[in-house]
Amino acid sequence: MNFIKVVEQDYIISKHPEFKAGDTVTVSYKIKEGNKERTQLFNGVVLQRRNSGMGANFTVRKISNGVGVERIFPLNSPFVEKVEVNSRGKVRRARIFYLRKLQGKAARIKELRYK
């Protein structure tokens, strides 16, 4: 078990900034369509970060045309080009699924302010 973690450390790429649940991020995701390749931006609020090591992933939620859209991104995927943190959110939970039930002004997250 410990040997697996040692081997995984060689393959983990820490090219992304630190972010957590409640932060608003923009994810640049590489999409292959046939022989073409393009980058799609997905801007939303991080609902959760799961696991650690090679299996780490995070869920991002946005509202598109009045419909909530969630997408799960593997953190160490070569298709995730970059993750930009737009703003830091102040939440008291590691997983903020309660945001799914809220809409409009109630779904706002306070911005984390530094002293």
Q: Which domains does the chain have, with CATH numbers?
A: 2-100 (2.30.30.790)
Mean pLDDT of 3-21: 79
Mean pLDDT of 49-73: 89
pLDDT of 17 reads 84
Classify residue 32 by burial, with Cβ atoms within 10 Å: 0-12, 13-18, 19+: exposed
**69/112: higher pLDDT:** 69
Say whether pLDDT at 41 is over 70: yes
DSSP 8-state assignment for residue 8: H
pLDDT of 28 reads 94
| Band (25; pLDDT cuts 50, 70, 90) | very high
Q: Is the pTM of this model over 0.75?
A: yes
